[in-house]
Amino acid sequence: MTNAKFANDAEIIEFVLSNTALFTETKTLRVEEIGDGNINFVYRVTNDQQSVIVKQALPYIRIIGEGWPLSLDRIRIEAQCLKEEGLWAADYVPDVYCFDQARSAFIMEDIGDHENLRHALIARRVLPELGRHLGEFLAETLFHTSDFYLDNEQKKAAVADYINPDLCKITEELFFWDPFCDHERNSVSPPLKEAAETLWQDDSLKVEAAKLKYHFMNDAQALLHADLHSGSVFVKADGTKVIDPEFAFYGPMSFDIGSIIGNLLINFAGQLGLEGEAEEKQAYREYLLATIDTLWATFHTRFKALVSEQCKDPVFATVGFVDAFIAHTWHESMGYAGTELIRRTVGLAHVADLDSIEDIHVRAVSEKFALDLGSALIKQRQDIKSPQILRALVQAI
Amino acid sequence: MTNAKFANDAEIIEFVLSNTALFTETKTLRVEEIGDGNINFVYRVTNDQQSVIVKQALPYIRIIGEGWPLSLDRIRIEAQCLKEEGLWAADYVPDVYCFDQARSAFIMEDIGDHENLRHALIARRVLPELGRHLGEFLAETLFHTSDFYLDNEQKKAAVADYINPDLCKITEELFFWDPFCDHERNSVSPPLKEAAETLWQDDSLKVEAAKLKYHFMNDAQALLHADLHSGSVFVKADGTKVIDPEFAFYGPMSFDIGSIIGNLLINFAGQLGLEGEAEEKQAYREYLLATIDTLWATFHTRFKALVSEQCKDPVFATVGFVDAFIAHTWHESMGYAGTELIRRTVGLAHVADLDSIEDIHVRAVSEKFALDLGSALIKQRQDIKSPQILRALVQAI
């Protein structure tokens, strides 16, 4: 039964019972398949009082089948990354109770009382703690897995342990290649075709996108979530959980920071065309920019404090170096936010913040804004010295 | 007998005979211990017509003994790196005939007809091909082990395979930490004490050195030799061999390029105080600068040609990106050349280019030049746009 899909609900329940002792009542346990993802199988096991989630990977992509094989090592990486993040940011990730290599499955805390952040943003939910939570999650997980905290040997072993070529390849192609040329995998709405073609001719943009790709592939700074879009974040009024780190690997910190900022900016772009009162939309756009401000201010403050309290390397603990490092990380984050905006607009994988605008001409206004902003973020990232300058840029476009 | 030092010459001869079939006459074979290094044991096995070199690592540093343990994995890395370099730059490395993990030893081509480059530079030997050979060696080995040539999966597996924490730690400390503070491991000549103390107070220099250290530890661009000083290069009138890559790991290309340029500049500094006629010394300094010009021009041209002919990644093959990458590599190389100049002047491991100047006051003039040049290279590296600007900087100091 090794590496085989669970045959039935009884097998899933047996797997949970033999690997955890959480349930006080086991007779009424039942299984719901809840996975709405494209790649893995996800089940809730519940007795209506208590519940856990079981996530299982198969050696191919769920919605395609055996025709698209994918390394099973991703589920080890996901479970291990969640546990590592849990050491440093326990409030912001689900508990992992057990990982079973033979079944390519793990059991984790059910966060079913949270809502997908993308849906919350589209519904214009105001979450006052979101920016602070994301900033803390990023500062804690990135600091503690980097050379600012780990010793030389631990860090290098961790880089090797998280090598994840299959999943990195998806990002290398879908972020940094397809959207910058007329690739068959792209999906471009007809009214946007002209803008996309202009973008595909922009040589200076392509050079800057190539630099971001090269950094993504080479700069093994910290253990990244590496798929930190709004769909990987779950929220409730006073809580935030970051899930699904199966793309995790050692890469540049700015990729995680830029990915999530890019997703807030995509929603900002979408607000142009989504239904609603102008005033309400304007207020929400202000909320999104304020959330980016808070996210960055929290990251900045917390990361500096962690270095000052816990960094054992006297070279990296130098205040001047930390300041330069954080400033550089902000610039590069702007670039990765730009690639996220562009790939979600003309690439393969679109998002509901834009695609749920039904009229393609109304949608094209939001899409054009996303392309222009993405392009400006990539090309001008060295000049965007603060969230205030980002705000001015957003308003100018 | 696993992992034990060869007990006697007979064991070494037996090791060679059972692992190679090179010798046409085996009865007169004898062994000479030729290692003048500090870390490993090196033997020549010869019958006076033919010869090979046997290099063995023990799990500690040779000149210190068991009190300073060192990972045996370094000898696997060295043999494997030499073979890898041999695939791309066969003229510039010795052939490796056999690696034996159990004995932590390998057998390679004898390059005894070559001279150590450091001795050749001190003797003011003019080697017209040196710059071209080094430029070709660097372009071929760095290109073929990077994302410009390897596919995603090969590259990431190679990064893991060459993780080399023990040896990297030596560089991290001796290049980037000790020489920038009053460290007990430093060795500072009394007349240089004041200049060293000024350097240790230079906060902006320390921030730039910290950035170079961070890149060294994180930017896994290509398989580096990683100890490319003049003592690792052997030369004859028409040939160049690069040996001893036991520090090899995946790091920034600019570290290898900067290390060897730094060594040519150290000799340049030493020429101020070494014996000889002023005119002869001046001519040799001109030769050293011309060698740096040729090294860089060769690297630049060859690397670009390799990308244009062999790079399979359409993003990295973009001419604009390659030009930007090469320009950035040059800047960063200047920084690493600077760290090499400084660590060889006030750090633990000095070099004969400076230390063979007997009068410490005469030597201090050369040493001060090396410190000033090193510091300028590190701080101004972004502004040094070409070897011509390097030349102007050298002349200004």
Q: pLDDT tens for residues A249-269? A: 999 999 999 999 999 999 999
Query: What is the pLDDT, as a whole number, of residue A3?
Result: 62
Query: What is the pLDDT, as a whole number, of residue B1?
Result: 40
Determine whether the interchain pair B315/A159 forms a contact, defined as Cβ–Cβ distance below 8 Å: no
Query: What is the pLDDT, as a whole number, of residue A1?
Result: 40
Contacts of residue B210 in chain A, CB cutoff 8 Å? 315-316, 318, 320-321
Determine whether the interchain pair A160/B157 forms a contact, defined as Cβ–Cβ distance below 8 Å: no
Chain segment B153-199, per-residue pLDDT in tens: 999 999 999 999 999 999 999 999 999 999 999 999 999 999 999 99
Name residues 317-346 of chain A within 8 A of B (Cβ).
318, 320-321, 324-325
Determine whether the interchain pair A163/B147 forms a contact, defined as Cβ–Cβ distance below 8 Å: no
A165–B contact, CB cutoff 8 A = yes
Contacts of residue B142 in chain A, CB cutoff 8 Å? none
Chain segment A8-25, per-residue pLDDT in tens: 999 999 999 999 999 999
Q: Which CATH superfamily is domain B9-109 in?
A: Phosphorylase Kinase; domain 1 (3.30.200.20)
For residues A60 and A39, the answer to whether their CB atoms sit within 8 Å is no
Shortest Cα–Cα distance, A266 to chain B (Å): 25
Shortest Cα–Cα distance, A206 to chain B (Å): 8
Chain A residue closest to B171 (CA)?
A152
Domain ranges of chain B: 9-109, 115-396
A293–B contact, CB cutoff 8 A = no
Query: What is the pLDDT, as a whole number, of residue B37?
Result: 66
Chain segment A203-247, per-residue pLDDT in tens: 999 999 999 999 999 999 999 999 999 999 999 999 999 999 999
B218–A contact, CB cutoff 8 A = yes
Shortest Cα–Cα distance, A169 to chain B (Å): 7
Chain segment B36-75, per-residue pLDDT in tens: 667 889 999 999 999 999 999 988 877 677 777 888 999 9
Contacts of residue A159 in chain B, CB cutoff 8 Å? 159-160, 163, 220
* Statement: residue A33 has pLDDT above 60: yes
Q: What is the mean pLDDT of chain A?
A: 95
pLDDT (mean) for B305-318: 96
Fold held by B115-396: Aminoglycoside 3'-phosphotransferase; Chain: A, domain 2 (3.90.1200)
Name residues 194-213 of chain B within 8 A of A (Cβ).
203-204, 206-207, 209-211, 213
pLDDT (mean) for B214-232: 98
Query: What is the pLDDT, as a whole number, of residue B155?
Result: 97
Give residue B3's pLDDT band: very low, low, confident or very high (50, 70, 90).
Answer: low
Query: What is the pLDDT, as a whole number, of residue A65?
Result: 74
Determine whether the interchain pair B320/A203 forms a contact, defined as Cβ–Cβ distance below 8 Å: yes
Closest Cβ opposite residue B316 in set A157, A204, A210: A210
Shortest Cα–Cα distance, B235 to chain A (Å): 33
Task: Examine the predicted complex and report whether its ipTM is higher than 0.90.
Answer: yes
